[in-house]
Chains A and B, each alone.
Chain A
Amino acid sequence: MHKKILTVFAVLLLTLAITGYAYTKWQETLQIQGTLNSAKVQITLQAHNTTLQVIEQTTHKLWLRGTMNSQNKTLWTGIIINNTGTTPVTITQTTQTNDTQNRFQTQTLYYGPYATVPPEKWDNSPTLPPSGGASSPPELPAQKILITWQNITMLTELIPVDTAIEITVTYTATFQSWTETITIKYTITRTIG
């Protein structure tokens, strides 16, 4: 009899204890969950248009070789830069050369930005350079292309025979602190003749 009463009281006590415990231990946690996907700054070399010999070509590098045997000769090279990233970019261009005597002159003209390649600015241009080029690059929005035409002209003084002059043109795309570059390397030689 006593055992049963004891059991009943024990159950009652336990129940009250659990009830009280649950109440006092109530705690709620609200959550703020975040997912962040970062952008991508990327430009790629989509196409080139040149009479020079292509030594190497990747999405970010083009190495061209050619000969120049006469004064005031001009070589034109067209390239298409595609903004394949997810942000707009500003394009800057730098030129470096080992020609310390400045026997070459370079000039770049910019066309675009375009969603698709306009033939009259590219392979169907009646003249080189195509008309309407700008001397400084525009901002290039994401998924848009920029056409550049660059000339290299050998001035009055010829380079010595069998001498290789290297001209490296770098296009840098910048958005905030993120950058991406494309490099065009020209190797110019002169042969006997």
Chain B
Amino acid sequence: MKTKILASLILAITALSLIGYSYACWNGGFRIDCYSKCDLIFTKTVAWDNEIEKDVATVTARITYDKDTIKIVIKNAYPSYTAHINYTIKNVGNRPAQFTSVTILNPNPEALQITTTDHTGTVLGPCQTIKGTTKVHILQPARQKWQYEFEIRISAKCKPYAYPRTIGFWKNQFAPYLGKPGKPQIGAETLEGYLNQISSQSQVFEFTGNRRQKFTQAYDILEMPKRPTMLDKLKAQLLALWLNQVAGYAEGYTYKGMTAQQIIQGSENAILNGWTKQYEYWKNMCEGFNNLGG
């Protein structure tokens, strides 16, 4: 009887701990070392205006202590005055976050015209930053000696699953099916489907034979020879990028302004044309993209 009560008590404590832990993570949790946390903050803001000769109006912008809000104060504004506010958002979590919406709350559209960068759909990997600009333009019907308020909400959600995986991840998916140690997270059929898809779309890779043979070919490319050339390294990273692409892990991500598709295209062109001087550049691009998941 006592054992049962003890077991129930332990379970209840565990339950409460888990609830508290998950709640802390949900609310940013940057003071708690959560296994998976998502957290975006403002890191920088700069404001300026369109006044050249006369300095009549002023604009200031500052990030609040919690780094979740930028406070803009515009004083002595008048029709045709335009304030610009640049900002930088950083993902300080360890999971990618995807921007889901940007909402501008402007109760006085007849007096203020507010535009802002729409990041919707963009995925921000851990430690990555993104820049945006908000523009506040005063229209002719604006009233004198009046106070206007506005708000912009930039929402993002945690993107725990679909993010680019590294070359090591993909190698570990094939390894167990070839009798090597490890526990795959992706089923053999799905993996084979990925390789078939790559074979049909790529001009560099073609996987033939039975499943085991295809897996061996893919694994060897990812594993690279003991003394790999730059081409070997490029091919390994390119295959990992292809796998991310066909698995849907590259969706919404960009690296140095380029999508996975664009990097694949550039890399394959370099290989097909034998532009050896470009190999390292494209290897780095593929690698940078594959490492976006952190």
Contact = CB atoms under 8 A, between A and B. Distances in A.
Contact of B154 (A22, A29, A35): A29
A11 interface: yes
Contact of A32 (B85, B112, B156): B85
Interface string A5-43: 001100110111011001111111111111111111100
A22 B87 CA distance: 29
A8 B7 contact: yes
Interface string B11-46: 110110011011101101000000010111110000
A181 to B, nearest CB: 14
Contacts of A34: 71-74, 114, 136, 149-152
B70 A33 contact: yes
A177 interface: yes
Contacts of B157: 26-28
B169 interface: no
B152 A31 contact: yes
Contacts of B134: 32
B246 to A, nearest CB: 25
A178 interface: yes
Contact of B151 (A16, A32, A37, A38): A32
A37 B71 CA distance: 14
A19 B156 contact: no
A101 interface: no
B126 to A, nearest CB: 14
Contacts of B146: 37-38
A39 B57 contact: yes
Nearest to A34: B72
B56 A39 contact: yes
B105 to A, nearest CB: 9
Interface of A: 4, 7-8, 11-12, 14-16, 18-19, 22-41, 86-88, 175-178
Interface of B: 4, 7-8, 11-12, 14-15, 18-19, 21-23, 25-26, 28, 36, 38-42, 54, 56-57, 68-80, 85, 87, 89, 97, 100, 112, 114, 116, 134, 136, 138, 140, 142-158, 160
